[in-house]
Amino acid sequence: GAVVSQHPSRVICKSGTSVKIECRSLDFQATTMFWYRQFPKQSLMLMATSNEGSKATYEQGVEKDKFLINHASLTLSTLTVTSAHPEDSSFYICSARDLGVPPLDTQYFGPGTRLTVL
């Protein structure tokens, strides 16, 4: 089946630094990737939709300059949390849509990245 990986799985950084998270589709091409954020005991909240070769579409309330998304190829999207602060600590999850699957909303999810900002 389709596999999506994320790197790193866990990262701890100091306040004020920037952190980059990678999302890769390993065995399929993904024109669209999604970035979610999950707070403890809460649902996944969509942050942005990333389309290969174009600017990401951010959900209302998500700071574009804070969460930089780049989707430079059909298998890789990156999320950079700039000038991270403790309130950015969360579980970040990406998903990718397979070109080969009918457009019935089949997304394949990565295992997530736990970000802790000290």
Partner 1 sequence: GDSVTQMEGPVTLSEEAFLTINCTYTATGYPSLFWYVQYPGEGLQLLLKATKADDKGSNKGFEATYRKETTSFHLEKGSVQVSDSAVYFCALSRTGTASKLTFGTGTRLQVTL
Give the interface with partner 1 as residue ranges (CB under 8 A): 4, 6, 32, 34, 41-44, 46, 49, 93, 95, 97, 103-112
Rounded to an integer, what distance in angstroms lies between the CA atom of residue 101 and that of residue 86? 39
Whether omega before 8 lies within 30 degrees of 0, making that bond cis, reads yes
Q: Give the nearer residue to partner 1 in terms of CB position, either 14 or 41.
A: 41
Residues whose CB is less than 8 angstroms from the CB of residue 118 and which lie 6 or more positions away in sequence, other chains included = 12, 13, 14, 15, 86
Least distance from C-beta 30 to partner 1, angstroms? 11
Tokens at 91, concatenated = 């579980």
Least distance from C-beta 53 to partner 1, angstroms? 15
Q: Give the nearer residue to partner 1 in terms of CB position, either 65 or 105.
A: 105
Longest dimension (CA), the chain: 43
Q: Give the nearer residue to partner 1 in terms of CB position, either 18 or 116.
A: 116
Least distance from C-beta 97 to partner 1, angstroms? 6
CB 80 within 8 A of CB 18: yes
Q: Give the nearer residue to partner 1 in terms of CB position, either 18 or 42.
A: 42
